[in-house]
Structure 1
Amino acid sequence: MALRQAEKSGGDAVSRETDTDVSRETETPAPTSAPGGRAARRKAAQEAAKRGGRRGRHSGAAAATAAAATASEPATAPTSRLEARRAARAAKDSPSLIASRALGEVFITLGVLMLLFVTYQLWWTNVMAEQEAGGAANNLQHEWDKGGGEKKNLADGERFGIMYIPKLDVKAPIAEGIDKHDVLDHGMVGHYDKNSGIKTAMPWDKKGNFAVAAHRNTHGEPFRYINKLTKGDKIVVETQSSYYTYEMESILPQTSPSNTSVIGPVPPGSGFTGPGRYITLTTCTPEFTSTFRMIVWGKMVDERPRSKGKPDALAG
């Protein structure tokens, strides 16, 4: 009667009791009685105990066998003194290997030094020379604006003018002399004076050849692209009192460094047939060498006082 009432009133309680009983029976099944009574059960228990003991003895014997096998492995025999010395020598680097490593390090160091030198020559010298030349040109113009007459007696290395080549975007100060260290290496254009071997004219002279030199590569390289000038291109020289405008006339792509006739009063091969007011630009060629000289000639076409302003070639 109670069971039927529990089923009617609360199915959950019945299921819990039922599940508990079932799980108990499933998890720990009751031992079944061995047939044959108490003596048979005692005999079965003894046999089970014997079987368990044999399994334990077998596992212990296996562990002991493994330990004995490990202990019985032969130890590595120590090397003799001779073998030890040989092994030590083999571990050291051979003289040839040490020499090859040292030589490799020397080559790497030389390569780095050469790279630094090339960078210095092709880039840093230009940076320094352009800064110095730009500052020198500006200083000259400030001095000229203060007034005064044209200075005629110039010392070696003294700056007296500024050269413009509008087509090449060149603006460089002009100094007396063509000394490499005092003039050309500072990004300036040098005038061939008496200390250069041949004294050439100044822009304000009524006749003569105003001859100058400059680097084509490194140290500002103001004449880098003068080979691109064509007939009629303007070259302007500014001094304290005047602007002198020249027109490019002809070019000599290559000649010997000893050919000083190219800066004479009437240079042969220039196309000029008589005395006049000329300009000659000289520089090294081919690029990055000083084997030969390139020559560019021009003739004066205009002279203009600075007080009247820039010439047309610079006005644009």
Structure 2
Amino acid sequence: MNRTERFYAIEHLLRQQRVVPIAVFLERLCISRSTFTRDIEYLRDRLHAPIVWDREEGGYRFDDPPCEGPAHELPGLWFSAGELYALLAAQKLLSDLEPGILARHIAPLQTRLTGLLEAGGHQAGEIAERVRLLSIAKRHVEPHFFSEIASALLNRKRLEIDAWNRGRDEINRRIVSPQRLIHYRDNWYLDAWCHWRQSLRTFSVDCLKRMTISPDAARDIPPERLDEHLARAYGIFSGQPVDWAVLKFSAERSRWVRYESWHPDQVGEDLPDGSYRLTLPFADTRELLMDILRHGHHVEVESPPSLRDTVAEEANRIAKIYRD
């Protein structure tokens, strides 16, 4: 930890315990005695911390603050990118909830989050104004049966569902055993064992039009099988990979793509001309096609031929709209 983080850790220990021995500081902070001595002197001399050595107790403690003189205040401690995202995302999720039976339970959490955000010396309102989390491609449709899904999932019960297939614009009735809820690209999905198809399927929660919780016990699929089936191929359209996509990005676009994570098993290669080759497994072309097309002429599908043809056909359809 850096010096500012040590200052906060020292103050936290002193507020947690009435007296703290030097050995405890050295163990918790993983520093030498000389570094600790310098930190204590800086806290007392420069930051006016009322820290004193208690000879009888054999440790440091906080003394009563003086009536006169500068007040003790630690310098602002800012967050890492991950910490700030986690705090703001949690705050946003809580603020999006409609008032209901959870309101009185959520209020203390929101207060605590506000306090954490303000630990860096800035008002939470200012942080929210200056730092924004933007949701892209989020479907603003309330999942009507979310609580029922969660209940069946955790109580291990089957569900009878009417699922709307957007592609074919039809309603299909299914009996499913829920396995996992997935929040992906700002939308909720249900991974379930379909008893009609006798295989694992993924359903968009906002496409479920009717639902009944069955008294029958859900079929449990081993976690390793779920991971193998649902996480091996690209994107939300999961399944056993059918092939590997090889994508070549222009030198310009490679400055961004080489830092992106498309899939845990992807392989990247920097080419002599500055371009970038990305190789990843896929089972379904739909989502991969959309992500390829957003890069326009800056990406070329090198293989497999079937994916290359699919992208070319879609590009021709797009071009036809503008030619006509």
User: Of the two structures, which has the highest relative contact order with CA contacts closer than 8 Å and spacing of 6 or more?
Assistant: 1
TM class, shorter-length: under 0.3
Which has the greater radius of gyration?
1
TM-score, L = length of structure 1: 0.20
